[in-house]
Amino acid sequence: MQVERGRIEPEFDPLAEGFDEGEEFFEHFRFTPDPGQQLLRIDKYLFNLLPQTSRNRIQQAAKAGSIWVNGKPVKQNHRVKPGELIQVVLSKPPRHTELLAEDLPLDILFQDEHLMIIDKKPGMVVHPAHGHHSGTLVNGVLHLIRQLPPGTASERPGLVHRIDKNTSGILVIALNEYAMAHLSKQFFERTTHRLYEALVWGELKEDRGTVVAHVGRHLKERKLYAAFPDGSHGKHAVTHYTVLERLGYLSRIECKLETGRTHQIRVHMQSIGHPLFADDFYGGDKVVYGPKTGSYAHFVENTFKVLPRQSLHAKVLGFQHPVSGTWMEFESPLPEDMALGLDRWRNYAAGSSV
């Protein structure tokens, strides 16, 4: 009987207690077959080692170029040999066996038979989780998928990345296994183009800068994340920022991500002393810069009422279409609450009454 032998490198441990999904919904595995490994098709080898993964998902990953042997992409019929370094990027299997399809208001910017682009509004959870089993973006997408002709799309929406409940902006949803595999590969290889816009406390010294610090679970507050510049915990994370507008005690910035860690922008900006305006997780929901009392403090409190969530918007998403190969890029304007908050700060910085 043909059997698979090998070890999983610590790049990813799917059974690790407390494993966090991060912002991106793909898994990166590394395998090294042992000397006793018999010749075996790589799709069968991976299927046997990854029992929660379907054979079809592995085969679609191979077609998308998401399986590598010694650094080179291989087809699904490649015969595994002892000592090879096997790497595979797979979209994550859904955790929920039962999903409720709901007719929810979604702003769809683009849709074809392979993918869907959605401009998510603030306050909507992306996917079902503890305490959020309905009313999520995935519930709404599932309803739309079930309105399509049979066989048009997968039974489940394919999440490749996510944004926080109170972050607004653009998301791509894959509608079949091949699109999911191809998009996962693009996110893994950092060939996508993503820009975020944020309002942060304070005046940054430089017009451009880069924050390099591991991001991981906070050592004491498990609901929070923290930056570890010394790399002692968490995962490597890089955020590039550009100042778009200086408004006294507030700055409007644009962020480009090299990595996609949970709360990355929020944590990185807080770590350099510039938390996002109104971010109640990372200290931005109080007066950070400027007088703590008087008319200015009153202005800030009133602006919190206009913009009551972290000031972060996923503004631009660009990627290669998984089938046509065409470069696609989408841009979302600032949502109403951020635009109103920004206007108030502009008026204040200009010396107008607010």
Residue that is written with structure tokens 């490649």 in the block: 78
Alpha carbon distance 341, 247 (integer Å):
12
List, by residue number, the catalytic residues.
Answer: 164
State residue 107 phi and psi, 5-degree precision.
-95, 100
Q: Give buried/exposed letters for 62-77 (b at 16+ CB in 10 A, else e).
A: bebbbbbbeeeebebe
Q: Do residues 152 and 113 touch, judged by C-beta distance below 8 A?
A: yes
Could you tell me the two tokens for 289?
């810069």
228 neighbors 213 (Cβ within 8 angstroms): yes
How many angstroms separate the CA atoms of 27 and 183, rounded? 12
CB of 225 closer than 8 Å to CB of 218: yes
Bridge partners for 73 per DSSP:
68
DSSP 223-256: TSEEEETT-SSSB--EEEEEEEEE-SSEEEEEEE
Please report which helix (H) or strand (E) contains residue 1, including its range. Answer: none
What residue has token string 């820009």? 195
